[in-house]
Amino acid sequence: MKMNGARIVLECLKKEGVDTVFGYPGGTVINLYDELYSFKDIRHILPRHEQAGTHAADGYARATGRVGVAIATSGPGATNTVTGIATAYMDSIPMVIITGQVPTALIGNDAFQEVDIIGITRPCTKHSFLIRDVNDIAGIMKKAFYIARSGRPGPVLVDLPKDVQIAQAEFSYPETVEIRSYKPNLAGHPKQVEKAVGMLLSAQRPVVYVGGGAVLGNAAEELTALARKLALPVTTTLMGLGSFPENDPLSLGMLGMHGAYCANMAMTNSDLIIAIGARFDDRVTGKVATFAPHAKIIHIDVDPTSIKKNVRVDLPIVGDVRDVLDKMIKQVDKGSVKAAEFRDALAPWHEEIAGWKAKHPIGYKQSTTVIKPQFVIQKLRELSDDDAIISTDVGQHQMWTAQFFQFNRPRTLLTSGGLGTMGFGLPAAMGAQAAFPDRQVITICGDGGVQMNIQEMATLVQNRLPVKIVILNNNFLGMVRQWQELFFDKRYSSTCMELPIDFVKLAEAYGAKGFSTSKPGEVEKVIKQGFKEKGPVIMEFKIAREEKVLPMVPAGASLNEMVLNA
């Protein structure tokens, strides 16, 4: 059956099981939108900004594990997606971004709203395609989704000239994908797995260090099984939170710049680190030269370029983390007697870790006169659903959430880790709520970041997405202010946000509900009021203005050189 290119694109989305897209129409995608009008089984959500639409597709992908889809027109529409694409790229999130382009005959002529979006996004996409022939659409769309979701996931951009959307072709969707230069290795090598288990069972002070790859690889069950089988202490990165239940006694919590004292000390004193789907980011390692000086390192990752990129590795295992962990469990089961002896031998190590936990637990000093942000996070955890999805913006509130919320399930924390994108939290929550209309979705923001995409309140109200927006308001760009206090003699240069914003009135202006308090005794009441409402709600908490995120590893310091009190 012959159809135009625009319709072929939408038929491809249907074949890929896409049920929701986030997009903003414009001149070069008007044909696509004309066809979309007839596709009632694909839900289209209109954001108020293309960046927010891309973050929403990202949040949808993080919460579901499926490929998120965003659409934008050419020129400024396409360039507005770049921050969202870069955010997804840094965190390995599967997305397909479809951008309109000027007609092929005008490409390179500086036509109205023409930009080289392929060139602009080349450094922050897993791959990109410019479709010049309508007959290539189906094959390229199949490849785009395959590349986005396979191996180490990531965003793929498809640039679609207007004349290609209008042209006619027969539609036939490929059953399989064959890309000669792209063959992700998913199966961990059995001999490497055997060596890894041997090294593990010979260790006296092992630590399992888990990154976002365990979440993206759906390996939480296998990770938990292996850790419990061998009584292995587990620490996670920000992106890895939820992959291992933090209420488990084996959990050390998050490590790194704002990680737990016990996690950082365990990494520093370990003799074996099993890194699972983690990339040894600088926020985790601190000073690389002094990172884990006594430890041998086993690094498991589906992306071979991530292994040995930042730190030395004694045993690399390239493969899907779920597959590798499953093989490790089977290998351990073969020597159950040795495994039992190993667990018993770890008793002194667990005692040492318990000492670190008791010596410097993550905490804060309660106040009866001013709201401490940590208290708000703890109350949110206490009063929210067990399977609530939490998104955050970037800054102090992000770290307080990581430290105090306690994540026990994968895909329940959506946050920008690698790029650190302010403005991410609200639209990401929007995407998650679109995917799970019946689940509780909460976004935790600062007063700075929330205003970067506050216009999406209109999208929430229009689409009846009952996201609960929690704003920790200190009238500062809090994390930068903290650095200025600690390292720049309190020279608060351009971090003070003194203009009073009435967030309650702002919520009401969008047709939503708003609640606000500055009193510790009213925190629980406001949260309960907000949760009771059926639509989107803003809950503002005016917090202690100069509260800091601690512990903190200063830039350039070793992981065990933490600022604990300041």
Q: Which of 65, 75, 157 is nearest to 116 (CA)?
A: 75
Task: Note the helical H segments in 16-73.
Answer: 30-36, 50-64
Sign of CA dihedral 227, 231, 237, 238: positive
Q: Which candidate in 16, 50, 222, 456 is catalytic?
A: 50
Residue 257 catalytic? no
3-state secondary structure 244-279: CCCCCCCEEEECCCCCCHHHHHHHHHCCEEEEECCC
CB 318 within 8 A of CB 183: no
CA distances from 528 to 153, 199, 539 (A): 38, 50, 10
Residue 113 catalytic? yes
Q: Which candidate in 3, 15, 113, 229 is catalytic?
A: 113
CA distances from 472 to 293, 397, 424, 431 (A): 39, 7, 15, 22
What residues contact residue 455 under an 8 Å CB cut-off, 6+ apart?
48, 49, 52
Residue 437: Cβ-neighbour burial (10 angstroms; 0-12, 13-18, 19+): exposed
Sign of CA dihedral 55, 57, 62, 68: negative
Q: Which candidate in 126, 142, 143, 162 is catalytic?
A: 162
Query: For 83, what's the count of Cα atoms within 13 Å in the CB-facing half-sphere?
Result: 19
CB 375 within 8 A of CB 523: yes
Cα 320 to the center of its chain, rounded Å = 19
> Can you tell me which residue has the tokens 């207007």?
162
Residue 112 catalytic? yes
- Residue 142's H or E segment, with its range, is helix 137-149
**Dist. CA 101–CA 385, nearest whole Å:** 44
257-261-263 Cα angle (round to 5) = 85
Q: Which of 164, 113, 99, 106 is nearest to 138 (CA)?
A: 164
- The two three-digit tokens of residue 384, written as one number: 């929210």
Residue 479 catalytic? yes
**Dist. CA 369–CA 159, nearest whole Å:** 55
Q: Which candidate in 95, 328, 479, 539 is catalytic?
A: 479
Residue 455 catalytic? no
Q: Which candidate in 14, 112, 183, 508 is catalytic?
A: 112
What amino acid positions are annotated as catalytic residues?
Answer: 50, 112-113, 162, 479
